[in-house]
C-alpha cells in the first residue's frame, strides 16, 4: 500500500441536481489532470470528495449522512459543493469527520488541496460570502471576470471526465441567477447569472457526443436568461439550440428550468419545432395564485400561465410540460389553493412535483408573516399530490396509441425488456418508457415504438424499429 505522502486515489460522490453532476465531472477532469486516480468510494480510496447539495433541509441531511458514511471508510473526507459553499466553516465546526470543507474558489487547485489533506496539512475552511457580490452588477461586465464559476472549466485542454457511460449527459449553459425569489437561497451561494460562450458550449457538446452521449440535457439555474450578458450578435437560446442540435452524434437536446415570465414566443417556437430539440418544457411555475406569486417575488397568474401552456401546445400538441409547485407558502389562503387547483386542472401537465413550504436560511420568506401550521401544510401537500397523480395519470393515458422515440438507458433484470425515455420525459424527474420484448436492443439506442399502455406516468411501449444514429 502506498504511503500517505504518495497515495493518489480519490472517490467522488455527487448529491443533488444535474448541475452538481456537471461540476463533479469537471472536478474529475481536474483531479485526473493533477495525477489523481479516480476509484469507487469502497475501493480503498485515500480521499473521498463529497459534492454536497444545500438546497432544502432533506438535501442537507443527505449530504451530512453521506459525509458521515464516507468517514466510516477510513478515508480522508473533503466536502465541496453547494452545502460546503453555503455554510463553510460552520459546517466544518459541526462536522469534525470532514477533514476539509472547500468552496468553489478552491476548485482550480483541488488536486493540490487534496494532496495537502492526505499529507496531514490542515486547510482553512471556506468562509462563505454572498457570491452575488463577487461579480459586477452589470451582466455584460461579468464576462470579463476571472472569478471561479463551477462547470465553466472547459478550455483548450479538456477539463471534464465522464463519470458514467450513460447515453445522456448534462451540459451547463450558465450559472447563477439574478432573480430574487423570496423563498430561494440559491443565488446567494451560486452567485449572479453568467452565461457560457456559445462556441465553448458547442465544443463541449461535440466532445460529449464523442464520449457516447446521444442526448444533451442543458442545465443552469435559469435557462431563459441565457445570453443576456453576451454580445447581441451571439444571441440567446433561440440561436444556441439549433447549433447544438446540429452537432454530429447528438440526437436530442433538452432544455431544463425555464422561467414562465421570461419565456418568449420565439423561444417556445424554437423548442417546439426545431428538429433534434425535444419538445419539452420544464416550466418553473411554483404557484398560480397572484397574491402568492407576488409574495414569492414572481410574476404571472393562472390565466397567463394557461395561456403559455396553450401557446406551447399550439406549436406541439404532444409537447411534454412539467413543473414544481410550492404549497403552504406564508399567507396562502384556501382561495389561493383553489386557484392553483384551477391551473393544474386546466394545464394537464405531464409531471408535477409538489412541495410543502419550509423556511430556508437567509431568505426573505423566512421573515414573512402568515406562516401556516406544519399540519396544514402537510394536508395541502397531500391534497395537491392526489390531484396531480390523477391528472398526470390521465395525461399519460392520453398518449396510448402515440408513436414515440425512446432513448434506451438501461435493461431490466430479465433482459427481455428495457427502459428509456421519450422526448416528453426528462432524466429522473419525469416518468419513463418500458420497452416490451426488447431482446437485442442495446443501451444507448434510439427506438421508435408505439405506446400500448400506461402505468401512472410511465408508458409501456412496443418497439417498431431501432433508428440509426443521426436520424433522430
Please say whether the dihedral angle defined by the alpha carbons of residues 275, 277, 280 and 286, taken in this order, is positive or negative: negative
Looking up cell 410511465 gives 458
446-455/403-411 β-pairing: antiparallel
Q: Report the side by side order of strands in the sheet with 351-356.
A: 280-282, 320-327, 351-356
Which class for 105: exposed (0-12), middle (13-18), buried (19 or more C-beta within 10 A)? middle
Q: Output the known binding site.
A: 17, 53, 82, 177, 181, 184
What is the per-residue DSSP string for 163-193? SS--SEEEEE-EE------TT--HHHHH-S-
- CA angle in degrees (0–180, nearest 5) for 120-123-127: 160
Q: Output the known binding site for [4Fe-4S] cluster.
A: 17, 53, 82, 177, 181, 184
Q: Which three cell numbers stand for residue 381?
A: 401537500
Q: End-to-end alpha-carbon separation of the chain, Å?
A: 49
Q: Which three cell numbers stand for residue 216?
A: 444533451
Closest CA to 177 of 192, 156, 158: 192
For 51, phi and psi rounded to 5 degrees?
-85, 100
Eight-state DSSP code of residue 151 = T
Q: Please, which residues have CB within 8 angstroms of residue 110's CB and are 6 or more apart in sequence?
A: 27, 30, 31, 34, 49, 80, 102
Q: Please, which residues have CB within 8 angstroms of residue 8's CB and are 6 or more apart in sequence?
A: 2, 35, 36, 37, 46, 115, 118
Q: Which three cell numbers stand for residue 83?
A: 452545502
Q: Please, which residues have CB within 8 angstroms of residue 388's CB and are 6 or more apart in sequence?
A: 344, 352, 354
Closest CA to 268 of 324, 299, 311: 311
Burial code (b: 16+ CB inside 10 Å, e: under 16) for 404-416 equals bbbbbbebeeeee
Amino acid at each position: 500500500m502506498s504511503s500517505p505522502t504518495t497515495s493518489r486515489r480519490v472517490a467522488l460522490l455527487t448529491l443533488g441536481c444535474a448541475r452538481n453532476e456537471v461540476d463533479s465531472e469537471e472536478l474529475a477532469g481536474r483531479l485526473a489532470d493533477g495525477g489523481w486516480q479516480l476509484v469507487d468510494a469502497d475501493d480503498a480510496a485515500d480521499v473521498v470528495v463529497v459534492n454536497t447539495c444545500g438546497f432544502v433541509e432533506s438535501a442537507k441531511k443527505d449530504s451530512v449522512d453521506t459525509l458521515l458514511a464516507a468517514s466510516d471508510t477510513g478515508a480522508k473526507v473533503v466536502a465541496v459543493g453547494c452545502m460546503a459553499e453555503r455554510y463553510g466553516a460552520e459546517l466544518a465546526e459541526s462536522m469534525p469527520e470532514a477533514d476539509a470543507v472547500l468552496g468553489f474558489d478552491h476548485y482550480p487547485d483541488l488536486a493540490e488541496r487534496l494532496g495537502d489533506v492526505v499529507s496531514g496539512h490542515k486547510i482553512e475552511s471556506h468562509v462563505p460570502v454572498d457570491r452575488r457580490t463577487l461579480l459586477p452588477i452589470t451582466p455584460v461586465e461579468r464576462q470579463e471576470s476571472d472569478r471561479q464559476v463551477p462547470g465553466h472549466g472547459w478550455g483548450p485542454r479538456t477539463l471534464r471526465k465522464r463519470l458514467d457511460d450513460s447515453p445522456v449527459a448534462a451540459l451547463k449553459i450558465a450559472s447563477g441567477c439574478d432573480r430574487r425569489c423570496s423563498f430561494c437561497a440559491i443565488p446567494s451561494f451560486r452567485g449572479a447569472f453568467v452565461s457560457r460562450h456559445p462556441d465553448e458550449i458547442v465544443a463541449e457538446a461535440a466532445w460529449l457526443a464523442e464520449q457516447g452521449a446521444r442526448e444533451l440535457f442543458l442545465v443552469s439555474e435559469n435557462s431563459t436568461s441565457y445570453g443576456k450578458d453576451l454580445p447581441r450578435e451571439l444571441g440567446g437560446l433561440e440561436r444556441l439550440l439549433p447549433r447544438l442540435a446540429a452537432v454530429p452524434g447528438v440526437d436530442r437536446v433538452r432544455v431544463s428550468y425555464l422561467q414562465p415570465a421570461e419565456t418568449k414566443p420565439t423561444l417556445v417556437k424554437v423548442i417546439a419545432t426545431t428538429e433534434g430539440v425535444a419538445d419539452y418544457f420544464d416550466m418553473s411555475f411554483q404557484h398560480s395564485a397572484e397574491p402568492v406569486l407576488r409574495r414569492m417575488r414572481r410574476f404571472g397568474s393562472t390565466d397567463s400561465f394557461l395561456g403559455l401552456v396553450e401557446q406551447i401546445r399550439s406549436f406541439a400538441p404532444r409537447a411534454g410540460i412539467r413543473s414544481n409547485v410550492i404549497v403552504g407558502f406564508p399567507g396562502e389562503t384556501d382561495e389561493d389553493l383553489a386557484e392553483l387547483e384551477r391551473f393544474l386542472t386546466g394545464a394537464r401537465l405531464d409531471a408535477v412535483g409538489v412541495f410543502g413550504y419550509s423556511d430556508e436560511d437567509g431568505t426573505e420568506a423566512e421573515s414573512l408573516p402568515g406562516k401556516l401550521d406544519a399540519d396544514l401544510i402537510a394536508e395541502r401537500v397531500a391534497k395537491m399530490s392526489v390531484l396531480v397523480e390523477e391528472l398526470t395519470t390521465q395525461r399519460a393515458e392520453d398518449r396510448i396509441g402515440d408513436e414515440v422515440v425512446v432513448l434506451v438507458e438501461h435493461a431490466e433484470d430479465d433482459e427481455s425488456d428495457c427502459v428509456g425515455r421519450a422526448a416528453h420525459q426528462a432524466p429522473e424527474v419525469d416518468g419513463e418508457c418500458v420497452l416490451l420484448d426488447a431482446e437485442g436492443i442495446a443501451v444507448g439506442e434510439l427506438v421508435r415504438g408505439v405506446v400500448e399502455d400506461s402505468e401512472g406516468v410511465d408508458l409501456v411501449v412496443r418497439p417498431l424499429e431501432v433508428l440509426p444514429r443521426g436520424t433522430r
